[in-house]
Amino acid sequence: MEVLKQVEEKWQKRWEKAKIFEANPDPSKPKFFITVAYPYPNSPQHIGHARTYTLADVYARYMRMRGYNVLLPMAFHYTGTPVLAMAKRLAEKDHELINDFVKVYKVPKEKLKELTDPLAMARYFHEEIREGMKKIGYSIDWRREFTTVDPQYSRFIEWQFHKLLQAGYIKRGSHPVGWCPTDGNPVGQHDTQGDVEPEIGEFTLIKFRFGEWVLPTATLRPETVFGVTNIWLNPKAKYAKVIVNGEKWIISRECVEKLTYQNRKVKVLENFEGEELIGKQAENPATNEKIYILPAEFVDPQNATGVVMSVPGHAPYDYVALENIKGEAAKLMRYGLTSDLLNSINAVSVIEVPHYSEIPASDVVKKMGIKNQTDPKLEDATKEVYRHEFHNGKMRNNTGKYAGLTVIEAKEKVKQDLIAAGKATTMYEILNRPVKCRCGTECVIKIFEDQWFIDYGKQEWKALAHKCLEKMRILPEELRAEYTYVIDWLHEKACARKSGLGTRLPWDKEWIIESLSDSTIYMAYYTIARHIKEYEIQPNQLTDEVFDYIFLGNGNAEAIAEKTGISSDVLKKMRQEFLYFYPLDSRHSAHELIPNHLTFMIFNHTAIFPENLWPRQIVTNGHVTMEGAKMSKSFGNIIPLREGLAKFGADPIRLSVLATAELLQDADFSPSVAKTMRDKLERLYELVAENTKDKKENGKEELTLIDRWMISRLQEHIKKATEAMEKLAVRKAIHTILFELDNDLQWYQKRVKTSEKAAKTRILREILKTQIQMLAPFAPHTCEELWEKMDGKGFVSLTIWPKADETKVDAKAEEGEMLIMNLLEDTLNIIKATRIKPRKVVYYTAASWKWKTYIKALEKSMEEKINQGDLIKELIKDPELKVKAKDIAEFTAKIVDEVNRMPQERKHKLVQIKFVDEKQTLKEAKEFLKNEINAEIIIHEEEDAKRYDPKNRAKAAKPCRPAIYIE
């Protein structure tokens, strides 16, 4: 481990000193520009964060070895709520968080107080994260680093927003959000107890008439208004008579406050018990029917208006509640409700659904065995009925002009018509309520007025985004559909808040641009960030004209230089550097950002930049789990990156987070995986050490079969690894480079152990060098060290990625080696089955006429399926074979099936190489076989007159399948 640490530091220093990762424009070389979503510095990094960054770094290193001038920069996202919220929690002395920082991440306790200031927190973790990135060996050009609160960056964001505004993509309006009345803040998932996302739903309030009063029944299913049999109120709840925007409403007391948050003027006239209205009649505004107001305890006064219309035909709650009160009619006498009257109320069916009876609600209630209106199973019952009716339901004839429509259509239409006629309105409610804020208050919905939006709903903008997507490479390709979907579905996105760090909206300074909106085109800023620092360009010099010139080529450098005091040379340099590195070649992030950041990036690029500068590729990856479990504070299974690095080393960590999963899947980290990786690297060290001990290197020995086999296999592995890297299938690449190649290498070493040939040193060296090069993007520190040990020139990071040499692919050697492998396996199998302790193993290789026959059969079978008769007829045309007609008949009977079943590819190979010199092959492997089997090995040709063959086995020999005799 100590050695590992030293090696890491040694190479990190050397890279830095040689500035090999600082990329400047170089017109003689193709460029490749890679960026990763910049981190929020609101806590230190853990192993999970390492995946995306390591992947991008591996890609950068690979592309560098493919000859590209690669730029990989990094910056820090101070904007918005993440930093703010964390600092706030710390200020509130959140125990969990403090424990986390101190115990898990080892933040010094005395630092904590300082970190309650958001900016101080961001600065602190910024340092921490940057150090981690250096220690894990990312090949980042640090000269371009910036933060999103740098005043120069703010100017860039202001420019961007001016562009969006000019293009007509910014608009203003209102929208509902989850809201904590105590805190006076919007609440998202991480602001709630148990991290519950408040689901916002729009209820239709249908205005049932009750004299001069309105009973606004809240429903998610307005189309069922035709099946209403009664109204439910909770007799034990408190209701209020109120004036809402000039209308007289009766609603639950809890609803009063909610309506005010939804921008309604509410005046309370009188409070009363729900009981008071039971037994009275109201009128359905859709049908003008008179119906009764009945009591139901399932009605929750805290949900929406607390007034519910009853549709027992299609709503399980209503169905059960109705059955319940019919059963206790006596209790209802005091409301003047007789048993006869109650019994006359029956479910009405207004929707037809396949596979259900007239009354779907009753079907489901009976199926689930629900007896009481307070049974929690009613939630599931409701969902089931709703699901089927929504997707498969049709409106019945008793629904007037809506008859025949699907439920999907009718739902919207009924709602719109009722609203248009003044018979309904809407209100928002939290569907999964109660959702509680961390402060303990139950959340409500607030409608925000005058909010600023970026209008991703614009059709012509969507068209541009689609166009950009079409031209982009998406990795993994499976997720392309996801982007298409998101582009279509995106609409107005609130782009500013009133709190947090960040850039103020240039035309309305109360608002601060939130973090998903100030991070969409910043990749362009990397191309000029180093100049801004180097020439100390001030924010006030960075006018919109400057950015127009650099990024869009508008205006005249000299004139702008005059106005801003930035020299025209510098302006031109920035313009050139931007044009050199743009467009962005590859964008990396975890795939949870597809529905927002990544798609926003596409949109914003198309809004601002010309088509040739739109991004070219997006790569996303899954998360990291910890021994199969989700990483989370509450599980206490988070390993901070710096701790991981200290414990396992940079290269093992890099390999671990990439080797266990392809892009789409979650990668599973565990200490044992990291250890395996370290062992693997250590073994490579040993192998290199052993191999370089012996300096003499003879270049002329003749290569044996096994040597040629190893070299041939190497070409295969190079090809496979390269193909995998092109698709960023890093797991496959690592498997090929580190495991499959290694397996072959081990076999090779086992095979040549007994041989004296000096060729093996040279071959081993060739293999190792290639392996080290291919491993270098993944384990750069180890590979630099090994490369140096092997007398490689310069940095391995700057060498050219190996290329498979087709001329070294040796089908004959591979067939020959396969023969040995299979023969060994067969022999061991026989030994196992017979439990013989072998003293002597005799092999008989197939006679040449068998080979001739075999190849002929293969050739013939490549065109069509062969049968024995035709095959024999053709074979005996050959006089040499004709004399053996009887043997041939016997032999062909054995091989016809096998030949017909053989894959085309293998047939090609065999036909191409004509025959394998089995006797020679076996001779070369004789020592090896002897060692493996631990018995004397004797090799004969099948028709060898002097052969030792007591059981007459020789004649069983087949090409590629020598006969075996063991005693």
For RNA, the binding residues in 672-711 under the rule CB under 7 A are 672, 676
Q: Are 282 and 244 in contact (CB under 8 A)?
A: no
Q: Which stretch binds RNA (CB under 7 A): 437-445, 790-798, 887-895, 899-907?
A: 899-907
> DSSP assignment of 490-556, as one string?
--EEE-EESSSBSPBPTT-TT-EE-TTTSSSSTHHHHHHHHHHHHTT--GGG--HHHHHHHHH--S-
**Does residue number 665 form part of the binding site for RNA (CB under 7 A)?**
yes
**Does residue number 961 form part of the binding site for RNA (CB under 7 A)?**
yes
**Does residue number 1 form part of the binding site for RNA (CB under 7 A)?**
no
Strand ranges for 298-412 from DSSP E: 308-310, 351-352, 394-395
Q: Are 794 and 12 in contact (CB under 8 A)?
A: no
Q: Which stretch binds RNA (CB under 7 A): 53-61, 306-314, 479-487, 561-569?
A: 479-487
Distance CA 342, CA 324 (A): 11
Q: Which stretch binds RNA (CB under 7 A): 3-11, 53-61, 572-580, 831-839?
A: 831-839
**Does residue number 907 form part of the binding site for RNA (CB under 7 A)?**
no
Among 277, 537, 601, 661, binds RNA (CB under 7 A): 661
Instruction: Compare residues 585 and 810 and give the one whose CB is closer to RNA.
Output: 810
Tokens of residue 219, six digits: 């429903």
Instruction: Compare residues 374 and 834 and give the one whose CB is closer to RNA.
Output: 834
Minimum CB distance to RNA, residue 458 (Å): 13
Among 826, 859, 878, 943, binds RNA (CB under 7 A): 826
Minimum CB distance to RNA, residue 861 (Å): 10
Among 10, 134, 162, 175, binds RNA (CB under 7 A): 175
Minimum CB distance to RNA, residue 452 (Å): 10
**Does residue number 743 form part of the binding site for RNA (CB under 7 A)?**
yes
**Does residue number 757 form part of the binding site for RNA (CB under 7 A)?**
no
Residue 397 has a CB neighbour count (10 Å cut-off) of: 10
* Window 75 to 94, contacts with RNA (CB under 7 A): 77, 80-82
**Does residue number 934 form part of the binding site for RNA (CB under 7 A)?**
no
Quick note: the x/- pattern for RNA over 481-520, rule CB under 7 A, is xx--x---xxxxxx--x--x-------------xxx----
**Does residue number 854 form part of the binding site for RNA (CB under 7 A)?**
no
Tell me the one-letter amino acid at 954: A
Peptide bond into 506 cis (omega under 30): no
**Does residue number 354 form part of the binding site for RNA (CB under 7 A)?**
no
Q: Which stretch binds RNA (CB under 7 A): 102-110, 573-581, 637-645, 729-737?
A: 729-737
230-233 and 290-295: which strand pairing? parallel
Cβ neighbours of residue 68 closer than 8 Å, sequence gap 6 or more: 29, 30, 31, 32
Secondary-structure breakdown of the chain: helix, strand, coil percentages, each rounded to the nearest 5: 50, 15, 30
Minimum CB distance to RNA, residue 13 (Å): 32
Q: Is 927 helix (H, G, I), strand (E, B) or coil?
A: helix
Quick note: the x/- pattern for RNA over 594-623, rule CB under 7 A, is -xx---------------------------
Tokens of residue 869, six digits: 């008769």
Instruction: Compare residues 12 and 722 and give the one whose CB is closer to RNA.
Output: 722
**Does residue number 735 form part of the binding site for RNA (CB under 7 A)?**
yes
* Window 180 to 209, contacts with RNA (CB under 7 A): 186-190, 197-200
Compute the half-sphere exposure of residue 95: CA atoms within 13 Å on the CB side of its CA.
Answer: 1
**Does residue number 951 form part of the binding site for RNA (CB under 7 A)?**
yes
Minimum CB distance to RNA, residue 829 (Å): 5
Distance CA 935, CA 590 (A): 57
Minimum CB distance to RNA, residue 543 (Å): 28
Instruction: Compare residues 17 and 865 and give the one whose CB is closer to RNA.
Output: 865
Instruction: Compare residues 347 and 661 and give the one whose CB is closer to RNA.
Output: 661
* Window 390 to 409, contacts with RNA (CB under 7 A): 391
Burial of 472 (0-12, 13-18, 19+ CB in 10 A): middle
Minimum CB distance to RNA, residue 721 (Å): 13
* Window 217 to 276, contacts with RNA (CB under 7 A): none
Instruction: Compare residues 391 and 923 and give the one whose CB is closer to RNA.
Output: 391
Cβ neighbours of residue 869 closer than 8 Å, sequence gap 6 or more: none
**Helix ranges, 586-637 (H):** 599-608
213-219 and 200-210: which strand pairing? antiparallel
* Number of residues forming the site for RNA (CB under 7 A): 82
Burial of 403 (0-12, 13-18, 19+ CB in 10 A): middle
Q: Is 580 helix (H, G, I), strand (E, B) or coil?
A: helix
Among 114, 508, 562, 592, binds RNA (CB under 7 A): 592
Instruction: Compare residues 695 and 901 and give the one whose CB is closer to RNA.
Output: 901
Q: Are 364 and 375 in contact (CB under 8 A)?
A: no
